Structure 1
Amino acid sequence: MGNRNDFYTQKGYELHNTDDLTASMEDYLEMICRMLKQQDIVRIQELSERLHVKPSSASKMVNALKERGYLSFEKYGYLTVTPKGREAGNYLLYRHNVLHEFLCLLNDSENELEQVEKIEHFIDRRTIEHLQALLDELNSSTAFSQ
């Protein structure tokens, strides 16, 4: 993009994004990885139910992730993540957890899921790393003050 001080619309920033994954793809991959932490296999039907989408929509997105090398299919329609998918998925889960912990602390709440889901695609790795460092600092200073 042009000068770092130039303003663009959200769509303008999206059009210049060079990431391989769209926000929707990230949501699907994140959910698949979340499910695989809780169970051995994931099927498209289960994925569609967890994301509240039609199985046909989930199937299209899974195919797009497969074409980009993030997923593979096993017998009986089981979804598995490739090493590339596992690496990306682990980061997506980490990003989600950092943002959730930060927003819960900031808002003195137990659950900020909706806000996290709305903003997580728009924050870069550097910001996530700095938020984690801030959380670590806040948590260590809180532990000393108790």
Structure 2
Amino acid sequence: MKELRGYITIARTMGSLEETPIWIDIKDKNSGVLACRTKITLEQYANALTGRAEIPCSMEFNDSGLVGKVRLYKKVTVPHSGNSLYGDKNAVKKHIEDSCPDVIADGWEPYLDDFTNMHRHTENGMKVQFQKYVDADSEEAIAKADGEVE
């Protein structure tokens, strides 16, 4: 098995008649993505807490390929002419791709909602966050660990 650092959250639904109201989430620390979610009943949860083994449950696994990767992010000021692209995600995406071809070519994905959020407005354009996922042993991931990148 491959060992990764992560976070665990145990939660329950409130005021619901759901059959499996307890869920356990395991989140990959480096990528920030949900790796696994387990759903169980209150009785199964009590049995697990009191030392019973192999309690039946349902599980959802993240098979996106992002678990085990490192999430990198950076903010880029995207020029904005003042015309409203609000509500038109395709136009926003095209504008960002046209304005930042080098960033896009390097595998960075923009968070499109940043472009239409007026709190992200600067004198020179809109501050848009970009992210990408890289292998944990890549130069970019190592640079992040060394504090060289955002």
More helix by share: 1
Q: Normalising by the residue count of structure 1, what TM-score does the alignment of the two structures yield?
A: 0.24
Which protein shows a greater Rg?
2
Q: Normalising by the residue count of structure 2, what TM-score does the alignment of the two structures yield?
A: 0.24
